[in-house]
Chains A and B, each alone.
Chain A
Amino acid sequence: MSTTAAPVPGASREQLGRLEEHWGERPSLRAWLTTVDHKKIGRRYLVTAGLFFALAGLSALAMRTQLARPESRLLSPQEYNQLFTMHGTAMIFLFATPMLFGFGNFLVPLLIGARDMAFPKLNALGYWIFLFAGLFMWASLPFGAAPNAGWFAYVPLTGQQHTPGLHMDVYSLGLLFLGIATTAGSINFIVTALKLRAPGMSLNRVPLFVWAIVATAFMVIFALPALNLDNAMLFLDRRFGTHFFDPAAGGNVLLWQHLFWIFGHPDVYIIVMPALGIVSAVLPAFTRRGVVGYVLVVFAIVAISIISFGVWVHHMFATGLPRLSYSFFSAASTIITIPSGIQIFAWLATMLLGRLVVRVPLLFVIGFIVTFVLGGFTGTMFALTAFDQQVTDSYFVVAHFHYVLIGGAVFPILAAIYYWLPKITGRMYHEGLGRWAFWLVFAGMHVTFFPMHLYGLFGMPRRVYTYPSEPGWDGWNLVSTIGSYLLAVGLLLVVVGVVHAIRRGRPAPPDPWGGDTLEWSTDSPPKSYNFPVLPQVHSLHPNWDESSRESMGAGAEADRILADGRTTLLTSELDGRREREVEMPGSSWQPLLLALVMLLFFTAMLFAWYPVAAVAAVAVAGTVATWLWPPRRPDRELGVSA
């Protein structure tokens, strides 16, 4: 158990040396800025998303402090508006999705037995854009110019007339900028999962986490354009005087809401789906068996990602749309609970039939099930139009979606942090510290958000910077505030646990949990080339299966070692049959450069320096053109006849 070496690889010392030569990077500033290694990029995503989470969390603490008692004057209404808008926007766009994409980046190639993502340079570009877009949005806060009309930015409030200043321009441009990274990342996940799986990994042997992230990526591809279009039209309306949302000139304010929620509801699943994938990935190691009903769970994942596009109007039950549409969307919102239920029951059955090993990741998974089911329960209440119209825009809604998002995304993310920390850092965490963190986070979460159901039902509206002393409001608000500090302490302990593990943790063996998937068959942390020998996969649980494990030992074919260059194997989409070797790009300045000129473009648009923006756009085109310029090859290799 306590060795740090992976099982003896079937590659010779000389082959390992050549692999290191092709894939390894010597630490230097240049290497740091130009790397395309999916593991480093994944780690950066995780750390950066963690920092944005901390900023958004501190905004929430400031708000809870303000709301601890009635008639408080700690924050001005203007400050409060910016804080709750940045809290929501950052948690959704700058924390949840990037954090899960970070795990995806680190894990997908390891889970499918590949040496990198399909498009490593695009991957690096995605990270830099995410970083710059996040800084672009947060930088507006110290200047008092942060977005201030709620994360869903309804017109006409967000129009130039009602919200002058840069606030909503930061919002629309920031999200458009970030959208490039999210789209690029999604395409990368889909293509990686389709083409780079290890030989033998047919679709029915793909780990559930990979299914979940691919389903998420498909949702992004179909949902994000609606948000991008919405933001582009908002920016055009505000800056260039178009009339998309202006009823006086033939526009319509509900167009914003439709497009926003056509994106926005799938986005709930875009956030929750990879987190559910994490749960399916963590459970086998701590129940000592595979997830029950693999095929049903895959079916549920696919069904959710399709049905999620047919429920958006349940966010608009209070807008006076035709009754018939209410009935349709009410029914669809009820139907989507079925595949969600299938997954929950599959996990419960897995725990029932398996042998539980109660470690911190499992605690967070159990915390997830409890919290998420409570959030799902209030969710089905909202599917009933009559009930929805009673509690819409009250704290009941706030309670509901924090149960769904903290339960459905934050708990699995915390489970993932503890579960994969040994693989990512090569160090074990402190179990006792982790347990303390779990109980504090769990208790803090429920103490903060459960009372919100109550004062929501007592009529307290959301998004008010302060409130008069009303029966049932004051006391419960104070309880919520106390809970939020408890939650913050718990999350701080998570950070302490991670830092402690990196500094003082004992070295992690390759497979500390006896996990079932391929990442546990290689070193902790993995070498730059991930696997000395690419595995030949024989089952859904390759690390529990002798023939898959043996395929990485002595006697491996040279074309699964690929020591002669920086290459990886392409396999067929459905059956995972070997097709060919492909060259993978090495480190490059282009991703950073391209992200910088894009940042220049969006900054110039924000401050209306249009000539600069035009120059930046040309620079973007030029960088892309050189990026893709074909290398010169001899005619014989190309196959040219005339």
Chain B
Amino acid sequence: MSGGVRAATGTAALTTELPVGRSTGWWGMVMFVVTEATLFACLLGSYFYLRFQSGDQWPPPGIAPPTLLKPLVMTAVLLPSSLPVIWAEHGIRKGQRWRLRAGLTATLLLGLTFLALQASEYAEKLHEFTLTTNAYGSLFYVITGFHGLHVLVGLTMIGWLLAASLRGGSFGAHRHDRVRNAAIYWHFVDLVWAAILFTIYLSPRL
């Protein structure tokens, strides 16, 4: 094979866009999210198992069925928070750093609002029951708390991306793996909330 043909058929020459194909980081994050999703599935499965194995009344006597207003507001804050991330990611794929910065800031604010709402929800509920009141209390706080921890981790990632993007020299049209991976995690944290909303807040009313 002559040098010219080789140069034209080598990996670099056949590469049409950068980065090409799914990155190892993408696969790594997807697998991580899959195993985390399984963890939440087990957690919510445990909720329903304990619910159906306990008596007729759920929540157990002494605890009122959860009110819906605040959790629905929380949902309205958290679910749309994925949109700015998507917008930011599409922006940096075109090399527009301002969109990355603006989108991440918006998501960060929405996420922090969610956590603040969750704190006020806890402040209210703790008057009624705690982690140690009964199995219902344990489930309520462990499930929502574990999700809250995930939101916190996701926000740390978003804040970390924002810091790196403000520094400059971090992300661009050819280098945005980290943005994409953090975005996948954030979408996951959002979607899990929908499952938690259904389990904790809506299902006792069914």
**A534 smallest CB distance to B (angstroms):** 11
Q: Mark B141-182, 1 if CB is under 8 A from A, else 0.
A: 010000000000000100010001001111111110010000
| Interface contact A641-B94, CB-CB below 8 Å | yes
Q: Chain B residues near A262 (CB, 8 Å)?
A: 42
Please pick, from B94, B136, B174, the residue contacting A638 in the complex, using a CB distance under 8 A. B174
**A307 smallest CB distance to B (angstroms):** 17
A118-B28, A641-B96 known; A244+B46 contact, CB < 8 A: yes
Cα–Cα distance between A212 and B145 once the two chains are bound (Å): 37
Interface residues of A in 150-203 (CB under 8 A from B): 183, 186-188, 190-191, 194-196
Cα–Cα distance between A489 and B183 once the two chains are bound (Å): 55
Cα–Cα distance between A581 and B139 once the two chains are bound (Å): 48
Does residue B123 face the partner (Cβ distance < 8 Å to A)? no
| Interface contact A187-B22, CB-CB below 8 Å | no
Q: Mark A237-266, 1 if CB is under 8 A from B, else 0.
A: 000111110100111101100110010000
A262-B42, A570-B21, A640-B172 known; A236+B138 contact, CB < 8 A: yes
Q: Chain A residues near B170 (CB, 8 Å)?
A: 630, 632-633, 638
| Interface contact B160-A625, CB-CB below 8 Å | yes
| Interface contact A638-B50, CB-CB below 8 Å | no
Does residue A229 face the partner (Cβ distance < 8 Å to B)? yes
| Interface contact B95-A640, CB-CB below 8 Å | yes
Please pick, from B12, B24, B132, the residue contacting A559 in the complex, using a CB distance under 8 A. B12
**B101 smallest CB distance to A (angstroms):** 11
Q: Mark A547-583, 1 if CB is under 8 A from B, else 0.
A: 0000000010111000000000110110000111110
Does residue A224 face the partner (Cβ distance < 8 Å to B)? yes
Does residue B87 face the partner (Cβ distance < 8 Å to A)? no
| Interface contact A244-B24, CB-CB below 8 Å | no
Does residue A637 face the partner (Cβ distance < 8 Å to B)? yes
Q: Chain B residues near A638 (CB, 8 Å)?
A: 95, 169-175
| Interface contact A246-B24, CB-CB below 8 Å | no
Does residue B98 face the partner (Cβ distance < 8 Å to A)? yes
Does residue B67 face the partner (Cβ distance < 8 Å to A)? no
How many A residues touch the partner, as a band?
35 or more
| Interface contact B35-A221, CB-CB below 8 Å | yes
**B47 smallest CB distance to A (angstroms):** 10
Cα–Cα distance between A368 and B134 once the two chains are bound (Å): 50
A559-B11, A579-B20 known; A640+B164 contact, CB < 8 A: no
Please pick, from B35, B43, B46, B135, the residue contacting A249 in the complex, using a CB distance under 8 A. B135
| Interface contact A621-B156, CB-CB below 8 Å | yes
| Interface contact A634-B21, CB-CB below 8 Å | no
Indicate the member of A222, A228, A236, A641 with the most B CB atoms within 10 Å.
Answer: A641
A-B pairs with beta carbons under 8 A, tally: 180
Q: Chain A residues near B131 (CB, 8 Å)?
A: 240-242
Q: Chain A residues near B172 (CB, 8 Å)?
A: 633, 635, 637-640
Q: Chain B residues near A557 (CB, 8 Å)?
A: 6, 10
| Interface contact B175-A255, CB-CB below 8 Å | no
**A242 smallest CB distance to B (angstroms):** 4
Q: Mark B15-35, 1 if CB is under 8 A from A, else 0.
A: 100111111100110011011
A195-B22, A252-B50, A635-B172 known; A243+B167 contact, CB < 8 A: no
Does residue A225 face the partner (Cβ distance < 8 Å to B)? yes
Does residue A29 face the partner (Cβ distance < 8 Å to B)? no
| Interface contact B31-A191, CB-CB below 8 Å | yes
User: Closest residue to B130 on the A side, CB-wise?
Assistant: A241
Q: Mark A192-235, 1 if CB is under 8 A from B, else 0.
A: 00111000000000000000000000000110111011000100
Cα–Cα distance between A625 and B19 once the two chains are bound (Å): 23
Does residue A629 face the partner (Cβ distance < 8 Å to B)? yes
Cα–Cα distance between A640 and B1 once the two chains are bound (Å): 37
Q: Mark A466-491, 1 if CB is under 8 A from B, else 0.
A: 00000000000000000000000000
**B57 smallest CB distance to A (angstroms):** 10
Does residue B119 face the partner (Cβ distance < 8 Å to A)? no
| Interface contact A639-B27, CB-CB below 8 Å | no
| Interface contact B164-A630, CB-CB below 8 Å | yes
Does residue B203 face the partner (Cβ distance < 8 Å to A)? no
Cα–Cα distance between A282 and B168 once the two chains are bound (Å): 52
**B178 smallest CB distance to A (angstroms):** 6
| Interface contact A187-B11, CB-CB below 8 Å | no
Q: Mark B96-136, 1 if CB is under 8 A from A, else 0.
A: 11100000000000000000000000000000000111111
Please pick, from A240, A573, A639, the residue contacting B174 in the complex, using a CB distance under 8 A. A639
Please pick, from A118, A229, A243, the residue contacting B132 in the complex, using a CB distance under 8 A. A243
16 A-B residue pairs with Cβ-Cβ distance under 8 Å, sorted by A, are: A188-B28, A233-B142, A236-B138, A241-B131, A242-B142, A244-B139, A252-B135, A570-B24, A578-B11, A580-B11, A580-B18, A621-B156, A633-B172, A638-B173, A639-B95, A640-B97
Write the residues of chain A forming the contact surface with B, with a CB cutoff of 8 angstroms: 118-119, 183, 186-188, 190-191, 194-196, 221-222, 224-226, 228-229, 233, 236, 240-244, 246, 249-252, 254-255, 258-259, 262, 555, 557-559, 569-570, 572-573, 578-582, 621, 625, 628-630, 632-635, 637-642
The 3 closest A-B pairs by CB, nearest first: A638-B172, A639-B173, A250-B135
